[in-house]
Amino acid sequence: MSTAPLRQELEDLIRRDLLGPAGGEQEIITEQSVRNRYLLGMLAPLKVIEVDEERVAPLEECDAPSQPITLGATNMWFSRTLSALSIPSSADPLEQLAEQDLTALFEDAESERDVKLVRRRHPRYDPYTDAQIWAAIGKLRAQDSAAPLTPKDLKLPEWKLFSKPDPAKNSANLRLRVVTPPAKYAPWIESVVLIDRLREVQALAGFTRLEPAGDDSAAKLVPLRRGPAEWVPAAEVRGEGLFLRLSEAKVSDWLATAPTLEMQFFGAHRRWRAQRGLDPSLGFPGLRYVLLHSLAHALIRQFSVECGYAAASLRERIYFSTPDDEESMAGILIYTAAPDSEGTLGGLVTLGETANLEQHLDQALEGLEICSSDPLCAETTPEQAFMSLHGAACHNCLFLPETSCERGNRYLDRTVLVPTMERAEFAFFRP
């Protein structure tokens, strides 16, 4: 017997049971409405949805040619995420507490009376009076009402804290300690700061299609909603990190000996931006950034072998300055963060201890002298890298996963760190 009639009968029964009419065309409904009688009427009732036109931006006309994308393609969605570390603004314990709870507890507080009502269930504020807490809240709100910051401005307070660490500012969101740099690398590394605990806030600002957004990308950032947005989705993660500050005197002396290489990178930078319809004269980070960026990649690749984290779990933050900046910066932060309440377990910080760090610096720099892709990798100059923007760098020596790198594996060159079989005059770490 064929199963087709049975299948058709079963489909009809299900359709009548969900949508109706189950009792035939002359069915009499005893419920108040047909919507209450059938399941689909409850789940998806047919009604007119009123739209507030003032909250919805009008559709924009677009004359650009459409470009088909395969369903599920990786270039259909590139998130644009901005991140910042929680940096205590004061060493005062009360101000640190109030800063931590400013939005969670005291967002709607308008007077000392409101503070008195809110603090009842939080015994950590027992040592302080209502007036003291209200004064701390007012001070923090005055700081938040300052002019909006750029992404580069977000890193400046981090640099000031890490370059001149103050253990008195340690809090629940940030705990750091200073260790002695390895004696072998003391001429080049000025200070080492171990961050046993840090808190990073990541905010989703928008997304792009076809290619990721950035300073060196022509991709248009698409907002998460039509019309003005008063907030964006954000998440906090906790982890650990290692901060290295290079000697400013050594970096300045080295930059004076490598103007040729800087011009090569600048020429490649101009070509890269011109190919993408961007102003070629803007956005060049300089050879200082290439040095710091290459060192960060070398250490991340080395640390991932020993610390128990995959390379994709480690991230970098590069603190650099350009000739137009008032303060000179030359430092790197390598960190990892996890979205649970406790963060990580200290595997990365342990590698920053004086004895361990010297060993890993030795191995990281030694591994860059010869690449498995040499001589092709060593012969690559910024002017020859057609589809990217780097010198002697490839997947076998310096490249990292996209989640770890700030610049999409651009502005990298191992010849700025150590001598290679092709170049030796630009090495920073040499006697």
In this prediction, residue 33 carries a pLDDT of 65
What CA dihedral angle connects 207, 213, 219 and 222, to 10 degrees? 20
Encoded amino acid at 287, one letter: L
In this prediction, residue 149 carries a pLDDT of 59
For residue 334, what are the β-bridge partners? 242, 316
Encoded amino acid at 226, one letter: R
pTM for this structure? 0.75
Residue pLDDT, tens place only, 141-175: 676 655 555 555 678 888 888 888 887 778 778 88
CB 208 within 8 A of CB 220: yes
Q: Are strands 314-320 and 189-208 parallel, antiparallel or unpaired?
A: unpaired
Dmax (CA) for the chain in angstroms is: 97
Q: What are phi and psi of 285, to 5 degrees?
A: -80, -20
Residue pLDDT, tens place only, 250-288: 999 999 999 999 999 999 888 888 887 778 888 889 899
Cis peptide before 212 (omega within 30 of 0): no
For residue 203, what are the β-bridge partners? 82, 234
